[in-house]
Structure 1
């Protein structure tokens, strides 16, 4: 997941050449990413950007670890602490409650103490949460720990993509920003795999590792130059930009553009909630909020949080299904990282929604056959195939693209307010789905997945009718399309 819902972020307009060639060229030649005749310096600057990105996405990895923690640990936690289904459902969903509350504060925190400061604070909250979970002897401390990790997730999923977008050269910004979603998948997958091998308490301790790496790494990467310019730290601003673009690079043009945008932002009147319903902005709001609603109510958090239970219900061992789930989502997400600047946003959304529909339909059919005692030998195959199709196609499109599009379709004036509302809707939906999933499965296993399939079908219609293609277009062109 990328959240660029922030007033201060100036996303450099796409120059229309963001194909695979553009993704490869900066790493091989570093010609367009920096303005320097010194190839050695340019190459070094690219590596500063890459290293800074890798440090920051440790927060995304932590996000994934939190999301993936509950699925492989449910039986162990419920048995050791004697929790009811309702108690564990509350525990599983509290990560989204913490993230929802963070959505109200993440913008102010990230503006006040900086992008690095926000990530540092989130890492501290997350580390504290994991320690509380590790030491828990009952439901209450377990819930407190889960809430703390959830609050850190809400900060991470806002601050990390914002930081990456603000430090990256324009021609590789899309690919680097989508590394956020890739690391979320890797963190989730690793938690799934380790959870089948070690105890739930030891799995909580592994959550400390990315926190420590991030806290240490933050000492060695520059702060966002755009944030430094915004708060008036001119000397630090130029030092940071030189580190990111190369010691001998000419940063005059980029620095002037950043300063001009900061000044323009200061002149804008403060956005109000009522602005979101004005004719000029309403379609942007509908697109951003709609994509978040469909992303969540398609069932992703229920399926990922309780994947092992789904496989057990279908007659498969929880570990084998969970391991397969964990392994498949990472390479598919990597494909999405490459394709997002090549094939475009809209095609990925359409393919993704189609795949999640078929995945849910197959899984629902498997449970329906099981309930009717028909073709029982096919039930595990259909259930696992359906879940894996769902995960693969969700990862390639619906997982990352809504965040990318949210950063592109809001005009600067309401980017912070509109983006924050979208984030809030996302986490409220995530909480509702993760909390009710077990109860829905108790009501009807096939019915649950057929409902999710219906949401995916509506997603297809929504994207086909309302969502424009934003690849290769400037922000002004996107606004013209939206308001046409």
Structure 2
């Protein structure tokens, strides 16, 4: 490994991950941009075929959420990055020759495979590679890069140059592959596999040898040594398939996993149920139907989201994670409540439609505060909150829940709107948001400037398990006889 400053090494690795996120953001807008620009002179103009392309992408997205984190857990973080980047690069290369249905559906499948893997693993990888003092800003940059990718796609759609999207997609994918090639493996993963010497070398490469880093490394190695020593003392048992399943279920029912999982589900439920789906996907599109073209209103929102995401990168270095989430979440509720009140007044002809700009202002405030932290922070915390042994399954289940929850909401919106109206939906979301935010304020841990081991200790229900495993220091000293490190 090249002898560079630890901070420079972290930047190289993070730049590769952020390149993947940027490329995934491009892919989110690419297909609609391509189909819109080629509607008249391309064989893929049938709406049923376009629906098939969309469904094919959704079908592979969920398995990718499961498979790529499994690769990350079993084969390492570098392999997981390759499993995400290679399909992404292949998809962009094929996109230059989208002449038939087969090539287009292949591009969408490859892009959604990469997107699922990136969503589930990128935060985990950044968290393990970066110093706690810089980890927050690097994690928040993920949302900014996704927003930038979507913005570039929409601008390209307005300028009718979909080939430009493919060119940037290829470039970002190559940057990610190069950065990953020169990156070391995660010291946390290496330690969990028992590769103590390699883990120590990679840790020095990434974090240096200053006081805080050395203390973190010492705790990391000591913790893993204890796990290995206890494992060496346990009798070897041959389990059949049913017993392995039962043993794994018991593993997942431990408090060390259930507590962070419940926190993440609550955070993502708040974001999904916050009304953002209603505002952006269904109810208030007419507000942004500007006369200068179909992309203008969307681009305005994209620019605002990008600016807020970049601002959040600064705020995360000044304000603690929990404080930022509660602050932005509270103001999101307030702006959504004001929007709901105006819509109710309008339905009773009390509020004039001449003041529609006021509704637009409240919606803008809602989107702004969501982008300032509420939407991005759960993905950041996802990489920090699960213990090393649970990171793969934890990120898989959390992202699968988010996918299922979001898709369910979108299917319910038309029916709910028919029965209770738009203002009724907004009222339900406001009440739900308020209840969730209260519970979040009670159970969400503060992870700012804490290393991953400190966060793991912070989430432990009690120390009973540790005390049962290590009854006293003499027992631990005797365990050293059973393993050579």
- TM-score by length of structure 2 reads 0.73
The corresponding residue for 1:121 is: 83
Matched residue, 1:352: 328
Moved more, 238-247 or 274-283: 274-283
Residue number in structure 2 paired with 1:424 = 400
* Structure-2 separation of matches of 1:177 and 1:197: 31
SS at match of 2:76: helix
Deviation of the 1:48 alpha carbon: 1.9
1:149 offset after TM fit, Å? 0.8
Q: Could you say if the C-alpha distance between residues 238 and 255 of structure 1 is closer, same or farther in structure 2, counting changes exceeding 3 Å?
A: same
- Structure 2 unaligned runs (5+)? 235-243, 465-485
Report the Cα distance in structure 1 between the residues aligned to 2:338 and 2:145, rounded to whole angstroms. Answer: 28
- CA distance in 2 between counterparts of 1:402 and 1:284 reads 12
Secondary structure (helix, strand or coil) at the match of 1:207 reads: helix
| Partner Cα distance (1:443, 1:458) in 2 | 17
Contact 1:102 1:155 in 2 (8 A): yes
Q: Distance in 2 between matches of 1:74 and 1:368?
A: 40
Secondary structure at the counterpart of residue 323 of structure 1: helix
**Contact 2:283 / 2:422 at 8 angstroms: preserved in 1?**
no
**1:12-48 deviations in Å (ceiling 9; x for gaps):** xxxxxxxxxxxxxxxxxxxxxxxxxxxxx9x932222
Aligned to 2:467: none
Greater gyration radius:
2
1:46 equivalent to 2:46? Answer no
1:328 to 283, 304, 324: 304
Give the distance between the partners of 1:89 and 1:378, measured in 2 at CA: 38
Matched, 1:82 2:45: yes
Alignment RMSD: 4.4
The 1-side partners of 2:158 and 2:306 are apart by 18
**Residue from 220, 233, 241 that aligns with 1:258:** 220
Match of 1:59 among 20, 24, 40: 20
Question: Which of the numbers 364, 370, 373 marks the counterpart of 1:397?
Answer: 373
Q: Match for residue 116 of structure 2?
A: 154
Distance 1:157 1:249 in 2: 33
When residues 76 and 361 of structure 1 are mapped into structure 2, their CA distance, relative to the original with a 3 A threshold, is farther
CA contact (8 A) 1:97 1:431 kept: no
Name the counterpart of 1:142.
104
Q: How much does 1:291 deviate?
A: 1.9
Q: Is the 8 A contact 1:164 1:173 kept in 2?
A: yes
Match of 1:130 among 92, 95, 98: 92
> In structure 2, what is the equivalent of residue 195 of structure 1?
157
**What corresponds to 1:211 in structure 2?**
173
Distance 2:226 2:71 in 1: 22
Structure 1: state its 5+ residue gaps.
1-40
Match of 2:137 in 1: 175
- Cα 1:391–1:338 shift into 2, 3 Å: same
Which whole-Å CA distance do the structure 2 matches of 1:417 and 1:296 have between them? 21
Q: How does 1:234-245 map to 2 (within 5 A)?
A: 234=196, 236-245=198-207
Matches within 5 A, 1:10-25: none
Partner secondary structure for residue 106 of structure 2: helix
Cα distance change, pair 459–349 in 1 and its aligned pair in 2 (3 A): farther
Which range moves more in the overlay, 179-188 or 364-373?
364-373
C-alpha distance 312-329 of structure 1, shift in aligned 2 (>3 A): closer
Residue 152 (structure 1) shift:
0.6
From the superposition, tell whether residues 254 and 282 of structure 1 become closer, same or farther in structure 2 (CA, over 3 Å): closer
